[in-house]
Amino acid sequence: MISTSDFKTGISIVHEGNLYTIMEFQHVKPGKGPAFVRSKLKNLRSGAIFDKTWRAGEKFEPAHIDKDKMSYLYVMGESYVFMNSETYEQVEIPRKNLEYQLNFIIEGMEVSVISFEGEILGVDIPEKVTLTVTEADPAVKGNTATSATKDAILETGFAVQVPLFVERGDKIVVNTNTGKYDTRA
């Protein structure tokens, strides 16, 4: 069992039949009254993020989440097929479990497939990925009063704001947490 005093960012717990990962937490000891813990949790099945306050010392069952390195292969209907590079085992993950991550995944990319007791929850992608710009608006001369940006579309179809010097065919690094341009590759 895990107590609130054992909370660490990234730990997964089972609470009321749901799987959560701890994104942030803060131990609070007010001058008056008992201590408590504020936390920000992410539901691993739905992706919902919410705040929860716990009494100090509350106990939870730990969730043993498995992360298997797999390569993205192809799309099959409404599912995406991933293959374990060591065992050659293939798994299909429904599109609804990958909505945001699909903006950054290309064929052959290695990702971590997250599962709990055989139930596939989704994929964990690298924090930064390198993608090719397929479309870029032309730079407008004189539009440089501040750090000017323009629209660009990446090979996955994701739209991102990039600096004026980025052209079609350039490879750029995108932060997958924020969905923003990071640097040129």
Identical fold, 66-124 and 128-184: yes
pTM confidence score: 0.75
For residue range 5-60, what is the model confidence (pLDDT) as tens digits?
A: 888 888 899 998 889 989 999 999 998 889 999 999 988 888 788 999 999 889 98
For residue range 52-106, what is the model confidence (pLDDT) as tens digits?
A: 999 988 998 998 888 899 999 999 889 999 999 889 999 999 888 888 889 999 9
Q: Collapsing DSSP states into helix, strand and coil, what is residue 151?
A: strand
CB 176 within 8 A of CB 112: no
The whole-angstrom separation of Cα 79 and Cα 97 is: 9
In CATH, 66-124 is 2.40.50.140: yes
Residue 125 clears pLDDT 80, i.e. is over it = yes
153-176: average pLDDT: 92
Write down the number of H helices and E strands in the chain.
0, 16
In CATH, 128-184 is 2.60.120.10: no
pLDDT band at residue 144 under the 50/70/90 scheme = low
Q: What kind of architecture, by CATH, is found in domain 2-62?
A: Roll (2.30)
